[in-house]
Amino acid sequence: MKIGLQFAMPAEFHALPGAKDIEPFQTVSGVPFYHIAPDVIACAGGIGKVNAAMACEILCLRFGADMVINAGVAGCMTDLPTGALVVPSDYVQHDMDTSAIGDAPGFVSTVNRLEFPTWKPERCIEILRGMGVSATTGRAATGDWFATGTDRARWIRDAFRPTLMEMEGCAIAQVCCRNDTPFVALKSVSDHLFKDGQVEEYFDFGQALENLGKVLLPFALALQKETLS
């Protein structure tokens, strides 16, 4: 089974041990793709929903990914500590809004849904626990906005009740939905929206990357075995 491991930023990909020494085997539409293990292909597709959707479609259609794992850092709406690992249970797209014509905020037409569930999040938590890794689950909200503790963020918190805020996951979930491809996400808390000094905290996300990088490939390989069995 082929796993597509998708990041937004090269720094997130480079958190994998030895990743800085791996050369891409192919570049498609400006996105480099890397073999990091048998039947595991990784890419850093870029920041934001369009970049994320494009890279995920390439993983699904060009490279035949049977499962896509989105990994990276994310802002936190709660008091989880920096570096805490979260397996999102589902995604919403907070900046999709056709409420003027009667839809609920976040409703995505064409696929006609508001929530995009991930693949067996509780089982993913169990797999991580079996690796000696503590993780929690919760909703993640995606949008093309570096979220800060403003009135807009408070509206998103009240409307969608997310644990995490980030910029790619729901786009990847939507592409996987349309390709009938199982989707998993693993995120590491980098910053806190309603904390003083949030931006400075974000730029000091070494601990978040370290916590993510050391467990991600073993987690992906465990999922590979899980879905093959």
Active site residues: 12, 191
Q: Which residues contact 103 (CB under 8 A, 6 or more apart)?
A: 109
Nearest to 68 by CA among 147, 151, 3, 23: 3
Q: State CA 51 to chain mean position distance.
A: 13
